[in-house]
């Protein structure tokens, strides 16, 4: 399955150091996968995992910081891996703990506002359309897109690619450790980088990429992020793997379903907090908001961030 790429991109597969950056190396042959994937392995020694982060709903924000891993994508061994996938796809939720938000009672008084309706508005016709990432072993693709001055960047489960605006592919690789290397592999990511998001931040002229990680064997959870060093995604990226296993009310929680946004000062990640195991805390703790200060990341230095537990319903940005 291949989708087209104009104003919106599409769908995912395998592949990353090369001596001549002007000639992207490409992988060939189909990618095969068993209908039964093995549980993904972490890229981190379990003995070195941090303790869960203590957080409380409606408490003051708690600050942290993370040092970068600096990666040059122009040196990846395989920079374009567009091999077709051959096999049964699998949903990322298969490797996540059972999780469900509680039903919300919306029996509210009538506010007097009129109901919305569809409007017959003219659709914008894109000037250029070209193939994005094709089918990968993971479904659904959950595509996102970041458009800068000269390049279009796309993420899906679990892959990343960027193109010149005429559709010329420049880079395509897995986000997890199944690449050659994977985009987040050298920052420590293992075999499960799900729910990726991306955007181009016009305030600082950078591409920013997000993925979540979860590994069930040791209760391991990460919010992993990458920032380009300029408005060209090819070359240097500053990558940050931030711990996101949360402890609250006697239970541990992991982050799911991220939102990703920005303003002039910060990048914002939201997520739903679901309980690991059967502890004394609620199964659904509400929303986590992690706010990343841009300044350190713009120069490849440590990134400062702060957590706020919003509670209540799901949060998105």
- Provide the residue ranges of all domains of the chain, joining segments of one domain with +: 4-26+59-97+129-311
d(CA 42, CA 217): 9
Whole-prediction pTM value?
0.84
* Beta strands at 246-248 and 80-81: parallel, antiparallel or unpaired: unpaired
With beta carbons less than 8 A apart as the criterion, state whether 85 and 137 touch: yes
CB-CB contact of 241 with 227 (8 Å): no
Look at the block and give the residue holding tokens 């440590």.
302
**pLDDT at residue 234 in the model:** 97
Strand 53-54 vs strand 246-248: parallel, antiparallel, or unpaired?
parallel
Give residue 80's pLDDT: 95
**3-state SS, residue 66:** strand
Torsion sign, CA atoms 178, 182, 186, 192: negative
3-state secondary structure of 101: coil
Q: Could you state, in chain order, the average pLDDT of each consecutive group of 10 residues for the chain (317 residues)? A: 35 34 56 56 87 95 98 95 84 89 73 77 77 92 97 98 97 94 95 97 99 90 98 98 97 96 98 92 94 98 96 73
């Amino acid at each position: 399955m291949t989708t087209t790429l104009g104003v919106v991109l599409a769908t995912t597969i395998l592949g990353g150091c090369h001596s001549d950056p002007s000639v992207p190396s490409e992988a060939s042959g189909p990618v095969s996968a068993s209908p039964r994937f093995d549980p993904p392995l972490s890229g981190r020694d379990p003995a070195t995992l941090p303790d869960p982060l203590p957080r409380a709903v409606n408490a003051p924000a708690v600050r942290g910081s993370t040092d970068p891993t600096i990666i040059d994508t122009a040196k990846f061994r395989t920079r374009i891996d567009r091999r077709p996938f051959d096999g049964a796809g699998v949903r990322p939720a298969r490797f996540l703990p059972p999780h469900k938000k509680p039903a919300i009672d919306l029996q509210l008084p009538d506010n007097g506002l009129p109901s919305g309706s569809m409007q017959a508005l003219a659709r914008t016709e894109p000037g250029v359309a070209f193939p994005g990432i094709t089918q990968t072993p993971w479904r659904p693709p959950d595509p996102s897109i970041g458009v800068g001055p000269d390049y279009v960047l796309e993420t899906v489960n679990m892959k990343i690619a960027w193109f010149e605006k005429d559709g010329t592919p420049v880079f395509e690789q897995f986000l997890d450790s199944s690449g050659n290397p994977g985009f987040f592999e050298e920052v420590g990511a293992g075999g499960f980088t799900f729910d990726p998001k991306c955007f181009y931040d016009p305030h600082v002229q950078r591409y920013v990429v997000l993925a979540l990680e979860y590994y069930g064997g040791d209760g391991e959870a990460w919010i992993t992020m990458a920032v380009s060093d300029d408005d060209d995604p090819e070359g240097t990226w500053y990558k940050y793997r931030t711990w996101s296993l949360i402890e609250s009310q006697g239970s541990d929680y992991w982050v799911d379903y991220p939102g990703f946004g920005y303003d002039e000062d910060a990048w914002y990640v939201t997520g739903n907090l679901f309980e690991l195991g059967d502890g004394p805390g609620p199964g659904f703790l509400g929303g986590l908001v992690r706010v990343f200060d841009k300044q350190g990341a713009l120069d490849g230095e440590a990134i400062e961030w702060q957590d706020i537990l919003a509670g209540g319903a799901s949060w998105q940005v």
